[in-house]
């Protein structure tokens, strides 16, 4: 039992990569042998030369040692070759980047100018839908189809929803049958009236030949008049039946709710299987092209804003500027702020401008001041705002700018870095970074003389 316990204890205490073997000769404990090299050792006294563990021969150990040395040398050679190749790739990339960085960029420059121009005032407002309608059912009925969902784009005349037409279709069949019956009645009365007229005329001829009597003529005339009246009554009834048929056909058409104008569905109020009463809402539809923009203008700028044909509007949500036509000023000012709503109309063919967006209008003020101007192509937009590249000592440099308003194909700006006479990049600035060498393909145009 003691040996079994010692053997179990040796197995439990064997380090990873070793396994228990025989007894150690010096300490009478179980020895260990390496699984990989088959070399023996004693876990207690480390006297492996005196251990009772079976050891491989000297020749076998030398052969294994030489094999390990060769493998380590081959691995070291592969690692060295890999390092050399990686260094070559990095060196080549660095040379290419350095060469590219030193290659001049072909650009076109335009000078910054300062001019006395009419200033514009920023006024805030909102985007509104020019057309908004809550479509409703004209007839009561069961909804059997809803062809749109919220956000769907529809054209004028597109189907929105359909109600069950079975009941009205039966009424239409009855109305058509009534029309046929009324037409037959008219034909019958026309024949009877014609016969009464012929009988009257025949009695008149007989009376002229003294073969007839006056009472017979009176009865024939009365009969002809009565048949003529019944014919008119039949014709009137035919008109009534035709009208009844058209009413039912219109009611059948009203079971299909269609879009009265092009736009988008903003809200849906019904689903398939729901019963709608006459006037029950189906969907809400808004028109998005064009859109109306209302901005609040101070009272001292109202008259000048009404004279303008167009107004530039900035849309912060889209990061773009659009031109809007001036519709007019609503004569309803705020008694405290003295602001008046100015109505603008902007085209929106791609429907990017959405109702509810904020808008910043740039209305003219009739006030003139010296302002810095640069071409539109010179201004770039980044995460930190607007900026331009300018030429500084033959290399590119960046200057942040504040956009004020557009003046034709130029933009009024404010900048603490730029001043009149400096040259800004208008072509070749798409993939530019600060510090690049510049190769000017066209000399900047000369600045206009004051007063020209």
> What ranges do the domains of the chain cover?
2-56, 107-115+370-442, 120-128+286-366, 139-258
pLDDT score at 5: 58
The pLDDT, as a whole number, for residue 87 is 60
187-217 burial, b at 16+ Cβ within 10 Å, e below that, comes to eebbebbeebbebbeebeeeeeeeebeeebe
Cα distances from 333 to residues 9, 60, 101, in angstroms, run 98, 106, 59
- Residue 431's pLDDT is 82
CATH of 107-115+370-442, one of 3.30.70.890, 2.60.40.1170, 2.40.420.20, 3.40.50.2300: 2.40.420.20
pLDDT of residue 382: 82
* 120-128+286-366 fold: Elongation Factor Tu (Ef-tu); domain 3 (2.40.30)
Distance CA 306, CA 237 (A): 61
pLDDT digits 0-9 by tens, 405-419: 888 888 898 898 898
Question: In 3D, which of 198, 175, 200, 191 has the Cα closest to residue 234?
Answer: 191
Give me the count of residues in the chain.
452
CATH fold of 139-258: 1.20.120
The tokens of 328 are what? 């007019």
Predicted local distance difference test score (pLDDT) of residue 240: 95
The tokens of 214 are what?
A: 């006056």
Q: Is the dihedral of CA 336, 338, 343, 344 positive or negative?
A: negative
- pTM to 2 decimals? 0.55
Q: pLDDT tens digit string along 201-258?
A: 888 888 777 776 788 888 888 888 999 999 999 999 999 999 999 999 999 999 999 9
What average pLDDT values come out for the chain (452 residues) when binned by 10 residues? 56 53 49 48 46 46 56 58 58 55 82 90 91 92 93 92 93 93 93 90 80 80 90 94 94 93 92 92 92 92 88 88 90 88 92 91 88 91 86 89 85 89 89 86 54 42
């Amino acid at each position: 039992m003691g040996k079994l316990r010692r053997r179990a204890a040796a197995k439990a205490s064997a380090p990873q990569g070793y396994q228990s073997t025989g007894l150690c000769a010096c300490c009478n404990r179980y020895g260990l042998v390496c699984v990989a090299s088959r070399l023996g050792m004693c876990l207690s006294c480390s006297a492996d030369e005196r251990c009772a563990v079976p050891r491989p021969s000297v020749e076998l150990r030398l052969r294994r040692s030489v094999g390990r040395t060769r493998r380590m040398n081959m691995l070291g050679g592969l690692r060295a070759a890999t390092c050399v190749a990686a260094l070559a790739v990095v060196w080549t990339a660095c040379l290419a980047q350095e060469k590219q960085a030193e290659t001049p960029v072909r650009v076109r420059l335009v000078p910054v100018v300062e001019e006395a121009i009419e200033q514009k005032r920023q006024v805030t407002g909102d985007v509104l839908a020019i057309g908004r309608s809550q479509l409703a059912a004209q007839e009561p009925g069961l909804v059997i189809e809803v062809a749109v969902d919220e956000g769907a784009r529809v054209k004028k005349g597109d189907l929105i929803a359909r109600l069950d037409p079975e009941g009205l279709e039966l009424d239409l069949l009855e109305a058509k049958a009534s029309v046929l019956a009324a037409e037959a009645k008219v034909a019958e009365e026309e024949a009877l009236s014609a016969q009464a007229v012929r009988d009257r005329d025949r009695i008149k001829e007989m009376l002229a030949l003294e073969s007839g009597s006056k009472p017979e003529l009176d009865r024939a005339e009365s009969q002809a008049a009565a048949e003529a009246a019944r014919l008119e009554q039949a014709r009137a009834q035919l008109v009534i039946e035709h009208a009844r048929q058209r009413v039912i056909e219109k009611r059948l058409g009203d079971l299909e709710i269609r879009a009265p104008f092009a736009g988008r569905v903003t809200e849906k109020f019904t689903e398939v299987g729901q019963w709608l009463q006459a006037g029950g809402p189906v969907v809400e539809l808004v028109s998005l092209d064009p859109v109306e923009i209302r901005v609040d203008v101070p009272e001292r700028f109202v008259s000048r804003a009404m004279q303008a044909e167009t107004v530039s509007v900035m849309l912060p949500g889209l990061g773009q500027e659009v031109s809007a036509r001036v519709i007019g000023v609503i004569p309803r000012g705020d008694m405290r702020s003295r602001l008046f709503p100015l109505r603008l109309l902007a085209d929106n063919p791609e429907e990017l401008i959405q109702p509810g967006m904020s808008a910043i209008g740039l209305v003219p003020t009739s006030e003139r001041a010296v302002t810095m101007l640069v071409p539109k192509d010179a201004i770039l937009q980044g995460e930190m705002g607007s900026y331009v590249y300018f030429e500084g000592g033959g290399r590119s440099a960046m200057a942040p700018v504040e956009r004020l308003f557009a003046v034709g194909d130029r933009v009024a700006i404010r900048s603490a870095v730029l001043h009149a006479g400096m040259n800004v990049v208008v072509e070749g600035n798409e993939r530019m970074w600060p510090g690049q060498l510049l190769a000017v393909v066209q000399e900047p145009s000369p600045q206009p003389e004051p007063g020209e």
